[in-house]
Structure 1
């Protein structure tokens, strides 16, 4: 039976409808990002980040009172674009389920005292990660410090572990090495008032590699040998020498008199209880070679108590363009221990 024009039109319309239906994309929509209320549902965050607290370096319990005060303020006073993890690196203090539950219960109580909303409190709780992190004395460093006592033996060896960890070990930590940024705070760090931007977002938008809050020199008696170490490295690596010159680095007098160069001279330092780092810039081949040489003699940390604060400043000046890559984040109202640091006006980031 031949088809009429009407039948042909109907069949053509049906074929068109079938084609259009098959061409539609019925794949599931991207889920809402778990990183924050402001994250676009269809686009992942453009970077990864974490807040880092080193809460213990020796086995055994540690009083968490200061940390319990610090954490709610970080949640309350920083307008986080994404709810990145808060990493609590510990040497066994939170290995048990009971210890973690107890800490989180106390954190809820502290958050309530600091007037966090229930929603903000639960967001903070969900951000917490307990990360076991061990610290061991290097070969050749005796447990008791030996008969030749270290320069700084009041907190032996805990403080020395802290200095070594933040100077170079942190960049190979399995939970940190693949991040874009980390923001290190101490348990006695306090963001005491609201600030107007997310520090990670600031780093991303402005293409910064390092941010600090304040400079304060380390005294010469805890930087023994540091000036010659940096000087010798720069002399052997002309590109480092050139970068130091470009950044306006100042040497003490007598640089090429090795027997007394830098003796008792203070060393400029970033106070690294506030340490905002773009991790890939500290994992380049050039930086890694420097960190390997730095780590090659453990006496630098365990005898002479070299700190991560002056070494961080040296790293930045040796390998970064300070004017372009570094920011003094005075916009964030900040206190360390009982000292409230000076701040400056905060200008919100453009949306």
Structure 2
């Protein structure tokens, strides 16, 4: 961006030009600097908030404001649903009606790839007095187009399923993404409307919406509105950005000069992965119907990326909005409280909070890189009224001196105290631990295709911890590792590496499983878009991690293990030995993150565990920690230790009690008839057989596994970290709070 050389400008240019550019820089660009350096106050994102009277000294609840002329936009809610989504919509629509539509009565349009049943339609009509329309998606909009190579598409899905990429094995999910990207706005039931609001089953609305967002969009010439910005999973869109660049090169006349591509484009021209999370969007149907958007979608569609990869409608919508819309036509609905598992939008503004029942500290946009970029790009525009006022104010000397006194770029080397300086004063962080190593290993379940992910993770793990301690690695795979994989891993560390193959009987159907029933269960879960619901390899992995990994011959010599996965990140220096800490302090299980499990994957797990407890009272620890996982009614609260990170005792998992527990679960078939995960299985096993003092929360280990992270809030610990504690999943986490309450009750 242009920076003026004041020494060579004439006095006249300083008076006229300097005031303009200085204002632009000072009020539109946030200061760059370290966290200790001063920052100029952020400008608020424009939002249609109701302002209390100026003579009011206290915050008051906003009054409901309905347009006095009774004006309505030509708009509708659009809900893509299945007949099985009735329960989710019975939760969502009453909230939407209570928070907004009970006052405005906008119509609903329901779409499905098969006809809706009469039961579905009758039950949905009970939820709102608004007009409701039910439509079936044309077959050609929910099937392979003629140019897609079906065999190649099947192979790509199988490969992504093996690599455990989210929804990688799902064909219905791909049809849904393609339909939402290029066809929903063409459905005849939407022809009469100009705007739409996308709603999904089981989402929650947590703030009263006392104005009309549709009218706000129309009157302010907004074309696209969102509540949450996130990164997309790179593995699902490896060629999307390059395909988009090819489209832009071939269609230079379509992309507007006033585009918003800086939202999504890094300085080197590559894609930053950000997108508007499209399960919530309020937008112009005319924009999606435009020649520009349709040309873009059709170009993408012809490449087959919706099927050969797993392109989502969220990045497709987002890139198109960035290409064709200026920033002032894209709007962040700060005041719309919204939850789609696992992310929230919740307004931090106290005036807006009066209408909400959500926790603003859980807002995923808080300090998120994507939303920070949106805010910075939004603020680059000069505020014209004040700009013009300054031009005629004739206060050059005062403004010039003030501007020269405050640098636009902060040199953090001049900050009062850098992290390094503080760290050197504090010294290395240590734990009460005995000298010497223990019999322990790093355990990594991986595939030959995981080289890139481990090239990302292991150097970070070595730098943060293992180069000082040299613990060995044990790599396990359901097929033999190839020489390329082994060679790549050996380049990453000087520690001992062992490579093992999982026995076939540990990665296949046991003899008592009804394979037909298991296949039907997977198909049913895939149709319902349950995460990894259609994946057989994922089930084998969960069963293996639940009951077999610790029995592998390569682990027989060890007493402790540390589970590591490809693509995870370690963001804090670990200057002590967690294995020695575990042994010295008699700990058997350590974790960093607690989150709720998806109930659809484990509907009978808790009942099965309770039957096990009833039949095996003699082996349940008298000081067990099951209270941590029971709600007030005695049912399962769905909390679990997120087992992609765990440091644990192999002797505990090899114990007779845990083995009986796993064998009991295994005989029930829930790993295959449902989709029981190793995380809840481990967690409930730990709760049954260990007292609280044997379970440890590694608060000080900075850890990231998309989309969650653990980052220590303690300032002393932060000196060794490169993470943001405001993004930590431990912030106001109900599951972790239950653990902490139990731990502190000693």
Assess same fold via TM > 0.5: yes
Once the two structures are superposed, what CA deviation does each residue of 1:8-27 show, in whole Å capped at 9, x if it has no partner?
xxxxxxxxxxxxxxxxxxxx
**Contact 1:223-1:266 within 8 A present in 2 as well:** no
Tell me which residue corresponds to 1:136.
508
Tell me which residue corresponds to 2:642.
271
Cα distance between partner residues in 1 of 2:646 and 2:616: 27
Aligned residues: 272
Cα distance between partner residues in 2 of 1:98 and 1:189: 21
Cα distance between partner residues in 2 of 1:243 and 1:249: 15
Once the two structures are superposed, what CA deviation does each residue of 1:111-160 show, in whole Å capped at 9, x if it has no partner?
xxxxxxxxxx5xx1443322222422333353995344353555511111
Tell me which residue corresponds to 2:678.
308
**1:181 deviation in Å?**
0.2
Once the two structures are superposed, what CA deviation does each residue of 1:285-339 show, in whole Å capped at 9, x if it has no partner?
2222222212223x211121001111111111100112x1110001111111254
**Contact 1:219-1:266 within 8 A present in 2 as well:** no
Tell me which residue corresponds to 1:111.
none
Cα distance between partner residues in 1 of 2:629 and 2:709: 29
| Structure 1 residues 338 and 219, CA gap change in structure 2 (3 angstroms) | closer
Flag structure 2 segments of 5+ consecutive residues without an equivalent.
1-434, 718-746
Tell me which residue corresponds to 2:486.
100
| Structure 1 residues 250 and 45, CA gap change in structure 2 (3 angstroms) | closer
TM-score (norm 2): 0.34
1:203 pairs with 576, 582, 586, which one?
A: 582
Tell me which residue corresponds to 1:333.
702
| Structure 1 residues 272 and 302, CA gap change in structure 2 (3 angstroms) | same
Cα distance between partner residues in 2 of 1:68 and 1:343: 25
For the residue of structure 1 that corresponds to 2:627, the secondary structure is coil
Cα distance between partner residues in 1 of 2:582 and 2:713: 17
**Contact 2:625-2:688 within 8 A present in 1 as well:** no
1:319 pairs with 689, 703, 707, which one?
A: 689
**1:218 deviation in Å?**
0.6
Cα distance between partner residues in 2 of 1:340 and 1:253: 28
More displaced, 199-208 or 337-346? Answer: 337-346
Once the two structures are superposed, what CA deviation does each residue of 1:93-126 show, in whole Å capped at 9, x if it has no partner?
523x34432x24xx74xxxxxxxxxxxx5xx144
**1:266 deviation in Å?**
4.6
1:291 aligns with 2:662: yes
Cα distance between partner residues in 2 of 1:156 and 1:67: 23
**Contact 1:210-1:326 within 8 A present in 2 as well:** yes
| Structure 1 residues 231 and 144, CA gap change in structure 2 (3 angstroms) | closer
Structure with higher helix content: 2
2:459 pairs with 72, 78, 83, which one?
A: 72
| Structure 1 residues 141 and 89, CA gap change in structure 2 (3 angstroms) | farther
Cα distance between partner residues in 2 of 1:247 and 1:279: 21
Q: State how 1:80-229 maps to structure 2 within 5 Å.
A: 82-92=469-479, 94-95=481-482, 97-101=483-487, 103-104=488-489, 108=491, 124-134=493-503, 135-139=507-511, 140-142=513-515, 145-149=518-522, 151=525, 154=533, 156-229=535-608
CA RMSD, aligned part only?
A: 2.8
Cα distance between partner residues in 2 of 1:155 and 1:72: 33
Cα distance between partner residues in 2 of 1:74 and 1:84: 11
**1:90 deviation in Å?**
1.6
| Structure 1 residues 190 and 127, CA gap change in structure 2 (3 angstroms) | farther
Tell me which residue corresponds to 2:445.
54
**1:270 deviation in Å?**
0.4
TM-score (norm 1): 0.69
Tell me which residue corresponds to 2:163.
none
Cα distance between partner residues in 1 of 2:535 and 2:625: 38
Cα distance between partner residues in 2 of 1:294 and 1:136: 16
**Contact 1:244-1:317 within 8 A present in 2 as well:** no
**Contact 1:217-1:310 within 8 A present in 2 as well:** no
Cα distance between partner residues in 2 of 1:244 and 1:217: 23
**Contact 1:180-1:279 within 8 A present in 2 as well:** yes
Cα distance between partner residues in 1 of 2:520 and 2:690: 40
Cα distance between partner residues in 2 of 1:197 and 1:277: 16
| Structure 1 residues 232 and 254, CA gap change in structure 2 (3 angstroms) | farther
**Contact 2:621-2:690 within 8 A present in 1 as well:** no
**Contact 2:626-2:684 within 8 A present in 1 as well:** no
